[in-house]
Amino acid sequence: MNTWRLDTWLTYRPEDFLMFSEPVYWQMIQTHNALFWPAHILTMLAGLGVLVVLGNPAGFARFRPGLLIAGPLAASWMLAGFGFLGLSYASINWAAEWLIPLFVFQGVLILLGRTDFGVGVPSGIAAVLGFGLLAYALAGYPLLAPLAGRPVAAAEVFGVAPDPTVIGTLGVLLIARSSLKRRTAPLSLALAISIVWCGVSWITLDTMNTWESWSPAVAALVALIGWSLPNAVSTGGTPKASRSGRAADRPAAR
Amino acid sequence: MTKHRSKPVSRRTLLAGSAGAALTALLPKAGWTDQTTTPSLRTIPSSGARIPAVGLGSWITFNVGDSPVLRAQCAEVMDAFFKAGGKMIDSSPMYGSAQSVIGDGLRALGRTDTVFSADKVWISDTDDGPDQIADSRALWQVPKFDLLQVHNLVGWEGHLRTLFEMKQSGHLSCVGLTTSHGRRHQDLAEIMAREPIDFVQLTYNVRDRAAADRLLPLAQDRGIAVIVNRPFRRGGLTQPLEGQPLPDWAGEVGADTWAQLLLKFILAHPAVTTAIPATTKPHHAVENLAASTGPVLDADLSRRLISQVESLT
C-alpha cells in the first residue's frame, strides 16, 4: 500500500490546500503592516527612486545606475521574503517558509544582473508596459485594499508586501529589456521567478474568491507579452559606462 | 515548519486586553449564552467511554495566525462549545496556527484537563513522528492527548507503531487514522480490517455518502469509533441552502436550521460516533451541538433530505 499515489493526488484541487480564510489573510497583511511601519515610506521612496533612474539612466551615469536600480529592488525582495513570508505569512501558511529561499535567490540574481539595468533610454512597447507595471505597483496596488473596503492600514505596498514588489519587478525587467539588444540570462530567470510568484498569488487569491486575483494574473500576462516583443533598442542617451563589457548587451551604436 | 509558540494567554489577559474587549463586546449580542444544551452522548466502542455526538473541527477556522483579536474570537467559540456540553476538539500540525490557538484558548478557559483532545501526526518521515507529537502536545498545553490519528494515512505503518507504543505506555488513550474527501477508502478499509485502531476519521455528509457503502459498516463490525469531517463540505452545503425554506418536517425532528438537518443526517448513521463541524461563530457551535438532541432521522426522512438538498445545491 503506497502512501503516495498519483491517482489520489490528481483528486486534489487548489481549495484543498488553502488553509486560511480570506478575512484572516487580510488581517495578517494589516498586522504585518503595523509590524513594519514606517518602513513603507522608505520602500515607496526606493521604488520611486528606481522609477526615476530607469526613466533617465544617463542622468545618473556617474552614480552607477545599474546598482541604483538593482540595489533597492533586491532589498525589496529580501524584505518581502524574510519579513512578509517569514514573519507574517508563515503564521497562517507553513508553506510560505519554503518560498523564502526563492525570494533570497531572486534578490541575489537581481544584484548579479545589475549591469543589465539602466543601460540606455527605454523605448518601445515593452518599456511602456514596464513603466505601466511599475507605476501600478507603486501607486495603484496600495489602493486595492481601500477599493475593496478594507482599511488603508491593510494596503499592500511595494517593498513590504510581495505582490506589488513582484509586479514592480516585472515592470523593471521589461524596461531593462527594452534597452538591451538581447534578453540576458539573469533577467530571464528573474522574470521566470516573478511569473511563478504571480501564479502562486493568483491561485491563492482566486481560491479565496477575491476580485483582486486578476491583478497578479494580468501583470504576469502583460510582462510575458512585453518580454516576447521584438527588441526595440534605443540609442539615445545611453550612459557611457558599460561595466559588463558585453557588447552584445549594449544598445547598438549608430 | 513554523512552531506557533505564542505567549500563553490567560483568561484575565483575554478579558483585559483589546482582544478581550472585542470578545466581551460580542457577548451580549451573541445570545448563545442563554441557551442550554445537553448533547447526546455516543460510546467509543474500544473503551466504553462516552463523548458528545458533535465535536469541534479547527481546519481553516482556527488558523488565524498571531492576531490577538482573532485568537480571542476562537477562544469565544471554544467557550460557547464547552458551555453547551461539547468535549472533542480536533486539529492537526497541518492546520497552521490552529494548535496554538486551541492551546491558548484551553488554558485561558481552564479546559486543558477536560477537553477531549484529538490531534494528528502528519509527517512523512515516521522517525520524526514522536518529536512532532511532542511539539503538538506543547502547543495544545494538555497533559496528554486523548486521541492521536495518522493524518491522511501519511506514513501510517510507522506512525501506528509509535501510537500503539504510546497507548501501551499510558501516554495516549486512543489511536486512529484519518482520510477526507472520500479519498483512499480501499486503503483505509484494509487497515481497519487488520489493525486494532480505536477511531477512524472520514468524510460523510448528505452529498458525500461513499463511506456508507463499506467503511461505516466495517467500523461497526470492528468496533471502531467514527469521526465525520467535512459535514458541511466546508460551507459548500450550507451556503447554497441559506435562505431556502426548511422542509416542512424539520420541526418534527427538532431542527431549526439547515446545518442542524445536515448534522442530523450524519448522526442518523449508527456507526457515527461524532461529527466535527468547524465554525467561527459561537452560536453556531451551540447550534451544532443541539443538532445531536431530539429525534433521529429515519431512513425515509434521510432519503427525503438527500433529494431536497441535491435539488437545491
- Asked whether residue A28 carries a pLDDT value surpassing 90, the answer given is yes
Residue B28 lies in a domain: no
The residue of chain A nearest to residue B3, with distances taken between CA atoms, is: A91
Q: What is the band of A244 on the pLDDT scale with cuts at 50, 70, 90?
A: very low
Residue B55 lies in a domain: yes
> Which residues from A are below 8 Å from B153, CB to CB?
3
The residue of chain B nearest to residue A89, with distances taken between CA atoms, is: B65
Task: Please report the pLDDT score of residue A17 as a whole number.
Answer: 87
Nearest by CB to B67, which of A5, A19, A27? A27
Span A205-218, pLDDT tens digits: 999 999 999 999 99
DSSP symbols for A103-140: HHHHHHHHHHTGGGSS-S---HHHHHHHHHHHHIIIII
Tell which phi-psi region holds residue A2, choosing left (phi > 0), alpha (psi between -120 and 50) or beta: beta
Structural domain of residue B257, as residue ranges?
Answer: 45-312
Q: What is the band of A95 on the pLDDT scale with cuts at 50, 70, 90?
A: very high
The residue of chain B nearest to residue A3, with distances taken between CA atoms, is: B154
Mean pLDDT in chain B? 90
Mean pLDDT in chain A? 89
Q: What is the band of B19 on the pLDDT scale with cuts at 50, 70, 90?
A: very low
Span B179-237, pLDDT tens digits: 998 889 999 999 999 999 999 999 999 999 999 999 999 999 999 999 999 999 989 99
**Measured on CA atoms in the order B133, B135, B139, B142, is the torsion positive or negative?**
positive
Task: Please report the pLDDT score of residue A1 as a whole number.
Answer: 61
| Tally of structural domains, chain B | 1
- Asked whether residue A97 carries a pLDDT value surpassing 60, the answer given is yes
Residue B24 lies in a domain: no
- Asked whether residue B102 carries a pLDDT value surpassing 80, the answer given is yes
Residues B55 and B276 sit within 8 Å (Cβ to Cβ): yes
- Minimal CA separation from A38 to chain B, in Å: 20
- Minimal CA separation from A92 to chain B, in Å: 5
> Which residues from A are below 8 Å from B156, CB to CB?
3
Short-list A121, A130, A159, A120, CA closest to A142: A159
CATH of the domain at B90: 3.20.20.100
Cα–Cα distance for residue pair A225/A244, rounded to 1 Å: 27
> Which residues from B are below 8 Å from A97, CB to CB?
1-2
Task: Please report the pLDDT score of residue A2 as a whole number.
Answer: 56
* Residue B303, helix vs strand vs coil: helix
Pairwise CB contact (< 8 Å): A18 & B60 = yes
Q: Which helix (H) or strand (E) holds B43?
A: strand B41-43
The residue extents of the domains of chain A are 21-231
Phi (first) and psi of residue B119, to 5 degrees? -125, -175
Q: What is the band of A182 on the pLDDT scale with cuts at 50, 70, 90?
A: confident
Pairwise CB contact (< 8 Å): A19 & B95 = yes
Pairwise CB contact (< 8 Å): A19 & B154 = no
Task: Please report the pLDDT score of residue B18 as a whole number.
Answer: 44
Residue B34 lies in a domain: no
Span B45-92, pLDDT tens digits: 999 999 999 999 999 999 999 999 999 999 999 999 999 999 999 999
Pairwise CB contact (< 8 Å): A3 & B124 = yes
Task: Please report the pLDDT score of residue A232 as a whole number.
Answer: 60
- Give the number of other CB atoms < 10 A from CB of residue B285: 27
> Which residues from B are below 8 Å from A99, CB to CB?
none
Task: Please report the pLDDT score of residue A4 as a whole number.
Answer: 62
Pull the grid cell for residue B135.
511539539
Residue B8 lies in a domain: no
Whole-complex ipTM? 0.82
Task: Please report the pLDDT score of residue B25 as a whole number.
Answer: 44
- Minimal CA separation from A120 to chain B, in Å: 45
Cα–Cα distance for residue pair A122/A69, rounded to 1 Å: 14
| Residue corresponding to grid cell 434521510 | B302
Short-list A122, A112, A131, A129, CA closest to A71: A112
